[in-house]
Amino acid sequence: MSKQRSITLRFLAEPRDINFAGKVHGGTVMKWIDQAGYACAVGWCKSYCVTIYVGGIRFYTPVHIGDLVEVQAKIIYTGNTSLHVAVDVMAGDPKQRDFRKTTHCIIVFVSVDDDGKPIPVPVWKPKSEEDVALKNYAKKLMDLRKGIEQEMQKFLD
C-alpha cells in the first residue's frame, strides 16, 4: 500500500455548526482541521499519530451555513519521528464552485507505537519548487517556534 501525502475532506456546513453570529464556529473549523491533519498523517505513516503542535492558525473569512467545505491537508516536512502537515480550509457556494480560502495552519504530529513511544516516520522528499518552498516554510516555522516556546516557558513554571 502506498503512502498518502495529502487528503481532501469535503462536506456541507450545517446549521448545527453555527456560532452566535450565524457563521460556522471557529472551534468546528479547528475540529475539521485536526481531523484532516490526522487522516493525512496516519495515511503517510501507517501508524497512530498524536498532535503535538498546532500553530499559525489564521482565519481569513468565515464559513457560511450551506457552503461546500474542502479541508486540504498535505505533508510539507518530515523529521525523524515527526511530520508537519499544512492544512487549508476552502469554502464556497456549492452551486458556483467559487471557493475562497477561509483558514490556514500547520500541525505537527508524532508517530507513535502501541505504547505511545515515538517511532520513525517515512521520509518525504520535495519533488517540485512548490514542495521545496513548503519544506523551507516548515523549517522557518520550527525556528520561530523555538523562540515562542522560550517565551512561553517563563509562564509555565
Domain layout of the chain by residue ranges: 6-124
Supply the pLDDT for residue 128. 96
Superfamily of 6-124 according to CATH: Hotdog Thioesterase (3.10.129.10)
C-alpha cell at 88: 487549508
Supply the pLDDT for residue 156. 78
What is the rounded CA–CA span in Å between residue 79 and residue 127?
17
How many helices (H) and strands (E) would you count in the chain? Answer: 2, 5
Supply the pLDDT for residue 157. 65
pTM: 0.92
C-alpha cell at 108: 505537527
HEC profile for 49-92?
EEEEEEEEEEECCCCCCCCEEEEEEEEEEECCCEEEEEEEEEEE
* pLDDT, tens digit only, all 157 positions of the chain: 567 899 999 999 999 998 888 899 999 999 999 999 999 999 999 999 999 999 889 999 999 999 999 999 999 999 999 999 999 999 999 998 789 999 999 999 999 999 999 999 999 999 999 999 999 999 999 888 888 888 888 887 6
